[in-house]
C-alpha cells in the first residue's frame, strides 16, 4: 500500500523577502520589505510592523524611497516669517537653500533630505525660537515617528520631500495608494495620500523654494508656488505634509 505524500502548507516565510524591492512593497521597521498582500495576509504572525510604502526604486532594485503611512501634519505653514519678530529667522533659513523660479529646474530637485537638514540647522540657530516654531511643517516631517504614526521627539530619518520627489510619488501613486488602502485594514490610523485622490484644492508642501517668500507645492497632477507663510490656498482645506524616507 502506497504512502500518501502531502505538500507542506505555505507560510509567510516562503515569500517573506523578495529578491528585489518593488514599488508598492511594505517597508518594515526592521529594514526588510514584503509584498503588501503577503504582509496583510500573515499579519501579525510574521511579527513585523509596517514603516511605510515603497514608491520609488533605483536601477539596482535595492534602494529607493518610502512614503509615510499617514500625513505628518495638516494646515501647518512652511515658515512663520510674517509672525512678529520672526523675519530675522526666516531670511537666513531660506538663504541656506537653492532658490529656483524655473519649473523644470524645480522639478529636478530630488534632495529633500538635504533641504530639510539645512532648514533644521538654520532654524535652530538663527532665531530666538526653536525649529518647531520657525518651520512647523518641516519640523513635523523631520520628527515623524513611524512607530506611533505621529510627530515625536527623535529623528528616525524622515524628511520633507523636494518637488521632484513629490513628482515621483505622483507618478507611482496608483501602487502607493493601493498598498496604503490594504494596510489600513490592519490599522485604521494608516491613511491615503489625500491630494492624490479627489480633493482638488489639497496639496502637499515641498522643501523646494521658489524665491524668498514662496515654496513649491504639488497637488493632483499640478505644481506651482505659494506663500511660505500661508496655509489656506484657494480657500481649500489647506496644505498637507507627508514625510518620505531613503533606503
Residue 200 has a pLDDT of: 44
DSSP 3-state assignment of 67?
Answer: strand
Short-list 155, 125, 126, CA closest to 139: 155
Contact 181, 156 (CB under 8 A): no
Angle at Cα 231 formed by Cα 196 and Cα 96, nearest 5°?
A: 95
Is the pLDDT score of 35 beyond 70? yes
Residue 21, Ramachandran bin (φ over 0: left; ψ between -120 and 50: alpha; else beta): beta
Cell of 40: 496583510
Instruction: Express each pLDDT in 167-206 by its tens digit.
Output: 999 899 889 999 999 999 999 999 988 755 444 446 888 9
Q: Is 232 helix (H, G, I), strand (E, B) or coil?
A: coil
- Looking at residues 89-96, what average pLDDT do you find? 66
Q: Are 26 and 55 in contact (CB under 8 A)?
A: no
- pTM, whole model, 2 decimals? 0.84
Cα-Cα end-to-end distance for the chain: 56
Amino acid at each position: 500500500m502506497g504512502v500518501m505524500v502531502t505538500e507542506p502548507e505555505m507560510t509567510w516565510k516562503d515569500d517573506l523577502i523578495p529578491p528585489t524591492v518593488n514599488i508598492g512593497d511594505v517597508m518594515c521597521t526592521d529594514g526588510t520589505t514584503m509584498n503588501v498582500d503577503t504582509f496583510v495576509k500573515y499579519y501579525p504572525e510574521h511579527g513585523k510592523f509596517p514603516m511605510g510604502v515603497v514608491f520609488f526604486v533605483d536601477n539596482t532594485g535595492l534602494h529607493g524611497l518610502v512614503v509615510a503611512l499617514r500625513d505628518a501634519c495638516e494646515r501647518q505653514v512652511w515658515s512663520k516669517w510674517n509672525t512678529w519678530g520672526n523675519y530675522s529667522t526666516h531670511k537666513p533659513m531660506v538663504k541656506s537653500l537653492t532658490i529656483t523660479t524655473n519649473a523644470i529646474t524645480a522639478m529636478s530637485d530630488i534632495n529633500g533630505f538635504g533641504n530639510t537638514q539645512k532648514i533644521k540647522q538654520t532654524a535652530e540657530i538663527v532665531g530666538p525660537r526653536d525649529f518647531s516654531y520657525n518651520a512647523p511643517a518641516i519640523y513635523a516631517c523631520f520628527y515623524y515617528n513611524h512607530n506611533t504614526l505621529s510627530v515625536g521627539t527623535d529623528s528616525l530619518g524622515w524628511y520633507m520631500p523636494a518637488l521632484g520627489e513629490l513628482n515621483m510619488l505622483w507618478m507611482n501613486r496608483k501602487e502607493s495608494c493601493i498598498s496604503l488602502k490594504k494596510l489600513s485594514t490592519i490599522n485604521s490610523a494608516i491613511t491615503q495620500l489625500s491630494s492624490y485622490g479627489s480633493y482638488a484644492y489639497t496639496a502637499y508642501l515641498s522643501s523646494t523654494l521658489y524665491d524668498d517668500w514662496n515654496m513649491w507645492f504639488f497637488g493632483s497632477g499640478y505644481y506651482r508656488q505659494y506663500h511660505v507663510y500661508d496655509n489656506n490656498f484657494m480657500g481649500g482645506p489647506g496644505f498637507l505634509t507627508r514625510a518620505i524616507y531613503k533606503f
